[in-house]
Structure 1
Amino acid sequence: MADILVYIALFIIWGMLFYHIFLMQGGYLHATRFQRKAEKWQANIPYYPSVSILIPAHNEEVVIEDTLEAMSKLNYPLEKLQVLIINDNSSDRTGEICESYAERFPYIQVIHTKPPHGGKGKSAALNNGLEYANGEVICVYDADNTPEADAIYWLVLGLVNDPKAGAVVGKFRVLNATKNLLTRLINIETLTFQWLAQAGRWFWFKLATIPGTNFAVRRSILDQLGGWDEGALSEDTELSFRIYDLGYHIRFFPNAITWEQEPETIKVWWRQRTRWARGNLYVIFKFLFHFFQLKHKRVGLDLIYFMFTYVFFFGGVMISHGLFIVGLFVDLKLSVGFVSYLLLIVGFLLFIVEELLALSFEKDQLTKTNFFVVILMYFTYSQMWLFLVVNAAFIELKRLILKQEVTWYKTKRFKQKDVEDKRTA
């Protein structure tokens, strides 16, 4: 029985490793070619569509001023621009700070929401903002984001030059990457996800997942879909699947860059990532149970990817870890003992290579410090994700059984100093 479990675990883990090697090749190819596409598009700008930027904000006084300062410096025709801050039932100075910017900049507007419509989470706040939006293109930024001046320009350029793109997603960088060890680990995680998972999936399959921030979507699509799913904790992933089902693709375009703050404590990280994992599990089973009702079955490629990531892969690793721990106390008489250890070592080395390759795509990220952080990451941060996904699955299962209402956890923010210095650190 133990041998069978080992074979199952190794098959799942190595299947995922080979898939990531495949994505790594696509990510590398995309990184070497996307700039040529950008230059071609710059020579062909048929028109500048009107743009509405939605910024949901609940008790964001610590970070909202930096975000609005970035919005005031965007390189996009002002007569075509509308910035809507949804002050979602805030009890701090968020509304006051936003109003001060609205007085200075006519294209910035503030929407104040209160219960029963306000305070229900990000999806509800975005739907409230959508009612006031007048742009042909809808862009979304979190309240802790400081997009670079050309971010909107690049996102819109992608849409007007690619009629089959329902949405264009940009790249996000970690503003507080050097704050402590946790933020360094998160920085490496985000770069790896974008250059391997996002860029690789886009290059090979024309698939990408909308992140929670720094993306543009056609207003006509949101109207057709009825906005965001207010029952989804990962409203971005859920929206991605519905856009696929309309027959559009989602383009990853790393020219559009925003800088965002990441959790600086384990407690905040755990709660935020648990919400992400629960949200992705919700999306997996929502579309899995209705798969045969989908019009465009190509979405199944991404559904399989998410299934393997959050269900099979983590399950396989848990089986492997469990057998290793039991083997310390009981002789399991494994026939593949030596081979399994050899495969684990090779898998570890592949993990290191993939992370370092992703870092090499970004200026000043392939450093000696990050090399040692990547090695540490395998034994710490990656293992934390295992327990987090198991915990998220338990919480989500309990919610379904007890028919509990979905509750939104708002990520705690931290005061940042010298924002421009952080960008170049």
Structure 2
Amino acid sequence: MFHTISVVIPAYNEERFIEDCLHSVYQQDYPKEHLEVILVDGNSQDRTAEIIREKFPQVILLHNPRKIVPVSMNIGIKAAQGVYVIRLDVHCVYPNDYFSRLVQFMEAHPEADNVGGVCKTLPANGTPKAEAIAIALSSKFGMGNSEFRVGAKEIKEVDTVPFGCYRREVFDKIGGYDEELIRNQDNELNSRLKQYGGRIFLLPDLLIDYYARPTVKKCGRMFYQYGLFNPLVDKKLGQCSSLRRMVPLFFVLYLILFVVLSVILPKLTLWFAVPLLLYLLIDIVASLQHITKPKVALWLLCIYPVIHINYGIGYLDGILRLLFNRSFVAEANR
């Protein structure tokens, strides 16, 4: 017996990726008569909506004038009729058995409330810069122990997964996406799910082709926003959602302290610089692993610090905004 599944996809200015994503959705081995695809367009200014109407008329196309992902997800979930809701991203291409694998796991494991796969991060284009960004986003030095990015050896229970399959009743129980969160909305939702006793599982052999941001500037801004919204997520949850996510904050605080102490006590600057020198050494070693592509290695030397420092600065900014009661309103960044 096949249950109807609702696939909810938020999109904003995605004319470059939308066709590949939807082709992979409709090439799934899950029975089409039990598949409902809902795409919520965030008032795109490009041809995203036009492409959907022309080439994928079977898609349920909804509109979100507020653009941001959590609002789009809530619109889609409200319209969903399926027993399961699968949250997808346009920047990805999914294996043909993605839906069936997720549903099979959910059917076999009634204790599971959400299940997802591992992101196989790919370059946005063929440039050394784009390749370096993709490598950084799937490396342990770049991402720490984020298992849905760096992979895992076995099926395991985790804190969050990307593009997961939820039981429909989960949203009736814990509510929908928090619409104040331009970033980290999935982390907050999954952390809230676990607070309610829910369980989340990662399937390590289920790989999703994810296309990274094409430029260092866009990558840096994305991680700044990830850091920015972390303190707000922690405040909403009433707890620290992950110590791992605080490491870049500590690094940025160290850099600030290093500059201050070096001015006050210049004779001790070398001692203060030891952690920074250690970081730079690790950065060099991690980058030189790709020395067979010298341009990629050179870009990696820059990209690792960009990710870590932007995340840390964003986190610090988020703390200050909470302390001084400042707004978290920001433009959606795609």
Q: Same fold (TM over 0.5)?
A: yes
1:384 matched to 2:306? The reply is yes
1:406 matched to 2:312? The reply is no
**Separation in 2 of the partners of 1:163 and 1:374?**
45
Partner residue in 1 for 2:175: 226
Partner residue in 2 for 1:16: none
Report the Cα offset of residue 130 of structure 1.
0.8
Counterpart of 2:166 (choices 213, 217, 228) is 217
**Separation in 2 of the partners of 1:111 and 1:243?**
26
1:138 matched to 2:85? The reply is yes
Partner residue in 1 for 2:215: 265
Report the Cα offset of residue 58 of structure 1.
1.9
Report the Cα offset of residue 123 of structure 1.
0.2
Flag the 1:195–1:136 CA change in 2: closer, same or farther, 3 A: farther
Flag the 1:274–1:256 CA change in 2: closer, same or farther, 3 A: same
Flag the 1:112–1:245 CA change in 2: closer, same or farther, 3 A: same
Partner residue in 2 for 1:279: 229
Flag the 1:370–1:315 CA change in 2: closer, same or farther, 3 A: farther
3-state secondary structure, aligned to 2:13: coil
Q: Is the helix fraction higher in 1 or 2? A: 1
For the 8 Å contact 2:219–2:307, the answer to whether it is kept is no
The one-character-per-residue Cα deviations of 1:95-154 (angstroms, maximum 9, x if unpaired) are 221122443x4xx321134xxxx2241100110011111111111112222212122222
How do 1:327-346 residues align onto structure 2 when only pairs under 5 Å count?
330-332=266-268, 337=271, 341=274, 345=278
3-state secondary structure, aligned to 2:200: strand
How do 1:4-403 residues align onto structure 2 when only pairs under 5 Å count?
47-103=1-57, 105=58, 108-113=59-64, 118-176=65-123, 179-192=126-139, 196-198=145-147, 206-211=157-162, 214-233=163-182, 234-287=184-237, 290-291=238-239, 302-306=241-245, 308-316=246-254, 319=257, 330-332=266-268, 337=271, 341=274, 345=278, 348=281, 352=285, 369=292, 373=296, 377=300, 379-393=301-315, 395-397=317-319, 399-400=321-322, 401=324, 403=326
Report the Cα offset of residue 54 of structure 1.
0.7
**Separation in 2 of the partners of 1:399 and 1:147?**
38
**Separation in 2 of the partners of 1:331 and 1:141?**
54
Runs of 5+ consecutive residues of structure 1 not aligned to the other structure: 1-46, 292-299, 357-365, 412-425
For the 8 Å contact 1:198–1:208, the answer to whether it is kept is no
3-state secondary structure, aligned to 1:79: helix
3-state secondary structure, aligned to 2:267: coil
3-state secondary structure, aligned to 1:149: coil
Flag the 1:321–1:179 CA change in 2: closer, same or farther, 3 A: farther
Report the Cα offset of residue 206 of structure 1.
3.0
Flag the 1:180–1:330 CA change in 2: closer, same or farther, 3 A: same
**Separation in 2 of the partners of 1:133 and 1:154?**
20
**Separation in 2 of the partners of 1:91 and 1:349?**
42
Report the Cα offset of residue 83 of structure 1.
0.8
Flag the 1:374–1:95 CA change in 2: closer, same or farther, 3 A: same
**Separation in 2 of the partners of 1:78 and 1:134?**
14
Quote the RMSD (CA, aligned, Å).
3.6
Percent identity reads 24
Q: Name the TM-score, length of structure 2 as normaliser.
A: 0.82
Q: Name the TM-score, length of structure 1 as normaliser.
A: 0.66
Report the Cα offset of residue 259 of structure 1.
1.9
Number of residue-to-residue matches in the alignment = 328
**Separation in 2 of the partners of 1:198 and 1:250?**
13
**Separation in 1 of the partners of 2:112 and 2:19?**
32
**Separation in 1 of the partners of 2:158 and 2:242?**
11
**Separation in 1 of the partners of 2:155 and 2:5?**
30
Matching residue's letter, 1:123: P
Q: Which has the larger radius of gyration?
A: 1
Runs of 5+ consecutive residues of structure 2 not aligned to the other structure: none
For the 8 Å contact 1:272–1:409, the answer to whether it is kept is no
